[in-house]
């Protein structure tokens, strides 16, 4: 039979009051637990599908200044570092941008989306306190029936750090290159049945390039209460970012010139963003085998940024406010079976404006751009989402477990156009639809099978479908061509994967092969035209492993091999079936050699590998890839005082964090976010 879940934190808290905590900890099994797969703590070995995890201990070792430093430790994940806190994401996909980048990945905090589904942020992970998280879990490929829109290629769930069992206070200060300073503070304790944690963070960065940098602040407040019948977890999160942005550096292999890489081609570019979230999870134990969960939440986000990547450099302002409710009923049946039924509800009010103050662009060739001066867009959208679902688990044989689920999601957009006409005078680029109501209905089935082979090894096969309604920006701010080629529709992806995993003592590993087919893919091709009905195929092999050679040395490897290809022809855009998608490396890897120098000291050498990838649909422009090495170490001077440091880009490699190609920005089209040269980052933390 499958092992039962280990004790939860709330059980541990209840035992602490009666002096039984130590015995409970000793009795806990060694399996890794994950929460994202079923929205509740469950053994990784029972998952019909894959969930990668970055532990709290890894986060404390890495002490990231950017989310790429931790999430890219998971195989199949390739988040590219933009400027400052910006990023673009890839999970079993190319690195996607625009509406596709925003809408293809679901970013969560404790299972609650950071943004409303139709209002996603392509840089969404800077809106969560990953620096002080209790763990990060990544589902690669479509999410289960428990999660809805945007979990197309995968989801990232940032877990808040739980309250400590005893009074814990910590101050952490660090300094890095180009006037990078970070201060973190934490206070936590448990008194009786109440536990709390307060995390605060402040960072200021002078910027690698001239006239750049950012300031950010994050606050996370968590309160837990565990009763005999009712338990509550309340979480408040706040983030604020003020960034002076460095746009792409243009010119072929510009990243090889240090003088060019430190220039800022547009000192006026900036991004200001704020977010607030409040939620309370209420769990009522109805019996020993059933429970009811209700999670009301509210969120507000607002952002203002100069769109430096467009020739006219318009100013975008957007914001939205949401209220939502997650509800579920869980029943454990005799024989090891389980049923979860629930409904997710959300209502959102959002708005967006895009205004170009600069005059119409005239390129050096004399071509007059249709990026013209004036108000490009000004609209409001009220969105309603209703999503009932069912998730079931069946112990069909002693060592065989089946998972089946289905989600239906209804999305309604009530759109109001605040501009006077359908098109901006002197430009055919900006189509502004008339005010209207759009609705979308999507079904997401899932079917998986897990076969336990030994006490610590299992094989699995999994089918799932990911769907999403279009992003509101794809519907109501779609530049170029939607009046001639059609508008965005719901996107669907079907995924089949097979895998083998081993947990527990000694060698741990997971090997997974997958194949996915996507349709109604809405994107902008290399000729700057919208494609509303693209088709793509995604095939890959992923390997994650950890092996301790002895008490002193260990190795961890996360490697992925993938082909991301077009599955249709579009001759006028140089797209042929079988061509690679843009920014789709064939190989990515993260390999880490760990050294426990003593019981107080750990060091880690990290090798980050990126293969070459194409920059345009014709597959005739390419970035050659890179190999970058990082070294980090942490030493406990006393039980209360820790010093740490890291050397980024140990061998001073010349590379690009992201390479791109767009002739609107530079005559030869090449543009890059430059990888920084070698630098030293040091810090210390004190606990009292």
**Separation of alpha carbons 415 and 528, rounded Å:** 26
Mean pLDDT of 325-354: 96
Does 524 or 556 have the greater pLDDT score? 556
Q: Does an H or E element contain 100, and which? A: helix 98-103
User: Which pair of tokens denotes residue 538?
Assistant: 């995604």
Q: What angle do CA 332, 334, 337 make, to 5 degrees?
A: 55
CA-to-CA separations, 317 to 108, 261, 611, in angstroms, rounded: 23, 29, 36
Look at 8 and 470; give whichever has higher pLDDT. 470
pLDDT (0 to 100) of residue 87 = 95
d(CA 495, CA 535): 14
Work out the mean pLDDT of the chain and round it to a whole number.
90
CATH number, domain of 235, equals 2.40.170.20
Closest CA to 372 of 313, 305, 306: 313
pLDDT band for 370, please (50, 70, 90 cuts): confident
Tens of pLDDT, residue by residue over 241-256, are 999 999 889 899 999 9
Confidence of residue 22 (pLDDT cuts 50, 70, 90): very low
Give me the pLDDT at residue 666, please.
61
Position 683 pLDDT exceeds 60: yes
The answer to which of 197-206, 571-580, 586-595 has the lowest mean pLDDT is: 571-580
Structural domain including 55 reads 9-479+486-687
Regarding beta strands 135-140 and 52-55, do their DSSP bridges make them parallel or antiparallel, or are they unpaired? antiparallel
pLDDT digits (tens, 9 = 90+) for 386-429: 999 999 999 999 999 999 999 999 999 999 999 987 777 777 78
Quote the Cα angle for 368-369-374, to 5°: 115
Percent of the chain with pLDDT over 70: 93
Is 80 exceeded by the pLDDT of residue 187? Answer: yes
The DSSP line for 588-633 is EEEEEEEEEEETTEEEEEEEEEE--EESSTTS--EE--EEEEEEEE
For residues 520-527, give the mean pLDDT.
81
In whole angstroms, give the CA distance from residue 382 to residue 426: 30
Closest by Cα among 75, 82, 72, 78 to 90: 78
pLDDT of residue 308: 86
The pLDDT of residue 1 is 38
pLDDT of residue 633: 97
Q: Looking at residue 498, what is its pLDDT?
A: 97
Tokens of 652: 């001073």
Residue 127 located in a structural domain: yes
222 SS3 class: strand
Give the pLDDT confidence of 111-135 residue by residue, as tens digits: 999 999 999 999 999 999 999 999 9
Distance between CA atoms of 595 and 602, rounded to whole angstroms?
6
Phi, psi of 489 (to 5 degrees): -130, 175
- Considering the domain boundaries, does residue 309 fall inside one? yes
Q: pLDDT-derived band of residue 30, with 50, 70 and 90 as boundaries? A: very low
- Whether the pLDDT of residue 530 is over 90: the answer is no
- Residue 63 falls in which region: left (phi positive, over 0), alpha (psi -120 to 50) or beta: left
Under a CB-based contact definition with an 8 Å cutoff, are residues 686 and 170 in contact? yes
Over residues 513-524, mean pLDDT = 93
Assigned domain for 4 exists: no
What element of type H or E holds 102? helix 98-103
Q: Which of 138-152, 541-555, 631-645 has the least mean pLDDT? A: 138-152
Q: Which of 15-24, 470-479, 624-633 has the highest mean pLDDT?
A: 624-633
Which tokens belong to 483?
């009046």
Average pLDDT over residues 352-363: 88
Higher per-residue pLDDT: 72 or 525: 72
Average pLDDT over residues 49-58: 91
With b for 16 or more beta-carbon neighbours within 10 A and e for fewer, the 207-233 pattern comes to bbbeebbbebebbbbbbbbbeeeebeb
DSSP string covering 577-600, please? Answer: TTPBPTT--SEEEEEEEEEEEETT
Q: pTM for this structure?
A: 0.92
Per-residue confidence (pLDDT) for residue 25, from 0 to 100: 33
3-state secondary structure of 82: coil
Q: How far apart are CA 426 and CA 408, in angstroms?
A: 43
Question: Does position 481 have pLDDT exceeding 80, yes or no?
Answer: no
Q: Over the stretch 78-107, which tens digit does the pLDDT of each residue have?
A: 999 999 999 999 999 999 998 888 899 999
Q: Is the pLDDT of residue 19 over 50?
A: no
In a domain, 440, yes or no: yes
Q: What is the mean pLDDT of residues 466-478?
A: 91
Tell me phi and psi for residue 624, to 5 degrees: -80, -10
Tell whether 334 is covered by a domain.
yes
pLDDT at 28 over 70: no
Q: Which residues on neighbouring strands pair with residue 555, listed in sequence order? A: 547, 593
Q: Which has the closest alpha carbon to 544: 211, 77, 146, 95?
A: 77
Answer yes or no: is 663 within a domain.
yes
Cα–Cα dist 451/402, whole Å: 9
- Alpha carbon distances (Å) from 269 to 210, 245, 264: 12, 5, 9
Q: Which two tokens stand for residue 264?
A: 């800022």
Percent of the chain with pLDDT over 90: 75
Handedness of CA 649, 655, 658, 664 (dihedral sign): positive
Q: Residue 337's Cα: distance from chain center in Å?
A: 31
379: CB partners within 8 A, 6+ apart: 351, 352, 353, 415, 416, 417, 418, 419, 432, 476, 477
- pLDDT tens by residue, 612-670: 999 999 999 999 999 999 999 999 999 999 999 999 999 999 999 999 998 765 667 89
Number of domains in the chain: 1
Does residue 483 have a pLDDT over 50? no
- Return the H-helix or E-strand segment holding 25: helix 21-27
């Amino acid at each position: 039979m499958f092992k039962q879940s280990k004790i939860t934190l709330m059980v541990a808290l209840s035992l602490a009051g009666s002096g039984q905590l130590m015995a409970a900890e000793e009795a806990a099994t060694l399996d890794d637990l994950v929460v994202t797969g079923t929205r509740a703590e469950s053994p990784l070995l029972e998952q019909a599908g894959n969930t990668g995890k970055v532990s709290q201990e890894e986060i404390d070792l890495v002490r990231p200044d950017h989310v790429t430093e931790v999430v890219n430790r998971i195989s199949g994940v390739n988040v590219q570092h933009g400027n400052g806190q910006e990023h673009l994401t890839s999970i079993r996909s190319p690195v996607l941008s625009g509406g596709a980048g925003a809408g293809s990945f679901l970013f969560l905090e404790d299972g609650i989306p950071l943004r409303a589904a139709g209002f996603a942020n392509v840089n969404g992970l800077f809106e969560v306190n990953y620096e002080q998280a209790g763990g990060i879990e990544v589902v690669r490929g479509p999410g289960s029936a428990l999660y809805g829109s945007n979990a197309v290629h995968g989801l990232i769930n940032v877990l808040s750090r739980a309250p400590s069992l005893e009074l814990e206070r910590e101050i952490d200060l660090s300094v890095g290159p180009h006037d990078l300073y970070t201060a973190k503070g934490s206070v936590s304790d448990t008194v009786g049945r109440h536990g709390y944690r307060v995390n605060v963070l402040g960072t200021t960065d002078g910027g690698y390039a001239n006239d750049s940098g950012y300031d950010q602040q994050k606050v996370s407040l968590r309160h837990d209460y565990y009763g005999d019948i009712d338990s509550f977890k309340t979480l408040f999160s706040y983030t604020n970012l003020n960034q002076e942005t460095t746009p792409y550096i243009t010119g072929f292999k510009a990243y090889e010139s240090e003088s060019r890489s430190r220039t800022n081609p547009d000192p006026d570019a900036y991004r200001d963003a704020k977010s607030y979230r409040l939620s309370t999870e209420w769990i009522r134990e109805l019996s020993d085998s059933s429970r009811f969960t209700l999670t009301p939440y509210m969120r507000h986000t607002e952002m203002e940024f100069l769109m430096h990547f467009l020739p006219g450099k318009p100013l975008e302002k957007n914001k939205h406010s949401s209220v939502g409710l997650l509800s579920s009923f869980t029943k454990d049946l005799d024989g090891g079976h389980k049923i979860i039924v629930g409904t997710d509800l959300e209502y959102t009010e959002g708005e967006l404006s895009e205004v170009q103050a600069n005059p119409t662009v005239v390129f050096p060739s004399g071509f007059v751009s249709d990026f013209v001066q004036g108000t490009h867009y000004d609209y409001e959208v009220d969105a309603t989402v209703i999503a009932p679902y069912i998730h079931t688990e069946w112990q069909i044989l002693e060592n065989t477990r089946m998972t089946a689920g289905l989600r239906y999601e209804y999305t309604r957009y009530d759109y109001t156009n605040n501009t006077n006409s359908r098109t901006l005078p002197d430009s055919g680029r900006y189509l502004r639809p008339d005010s209207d109501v759009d609705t979308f209905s999507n079904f997401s089935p899932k079917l998986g099978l897990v076969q336990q082979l030994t006490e610590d090894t299992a094989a699995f096969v999994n089918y799932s479908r990911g769907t999403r309604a279009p992003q509101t920006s794809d519907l109501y701010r779609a530049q170029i061509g939607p009046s001639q080629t059609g508008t965005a529709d719901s996107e669907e992806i079907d995924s089949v994967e097979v895998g083998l995993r081993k947990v527990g003592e000694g060698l741990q590993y997971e090997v997974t092969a997958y194949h996915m087919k996507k349709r109604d893919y809405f994107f902008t091709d290399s000729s700057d035209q919208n494609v509303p009905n693209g088709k793509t195929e995604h095939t890959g092999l992923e390997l994650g492993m950890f092996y301790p050679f002895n008490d002193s040395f260990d190795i961890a490897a996360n490697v992925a091999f993938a082909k991301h290809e077009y599955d249709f022809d579009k001759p006028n855009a140089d797209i042929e079936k079988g061509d690679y998608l843009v920014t789709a490396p064939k190989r990515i890897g993260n390999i880490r050699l760990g050294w426990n120098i003593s019981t107080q000291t750990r060091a880690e050498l990290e090798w980050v590998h990126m293969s070459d990838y194409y920059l345009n649909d014709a597959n005739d422009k390419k970035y050659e890839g890179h190999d970058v090495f990082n070294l980090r170490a942490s030493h406990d001077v006393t039980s209360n005082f820790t010093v740490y440091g890291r050397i980024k880009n140990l061998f001073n490699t010349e590379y690009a964090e992201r390479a791109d190609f767009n002739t609107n920005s530079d005559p030869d089209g090449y543009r890059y976010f430059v990888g920084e040269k070698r630098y030293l980052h040091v810090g210390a933390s004190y606990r009292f």
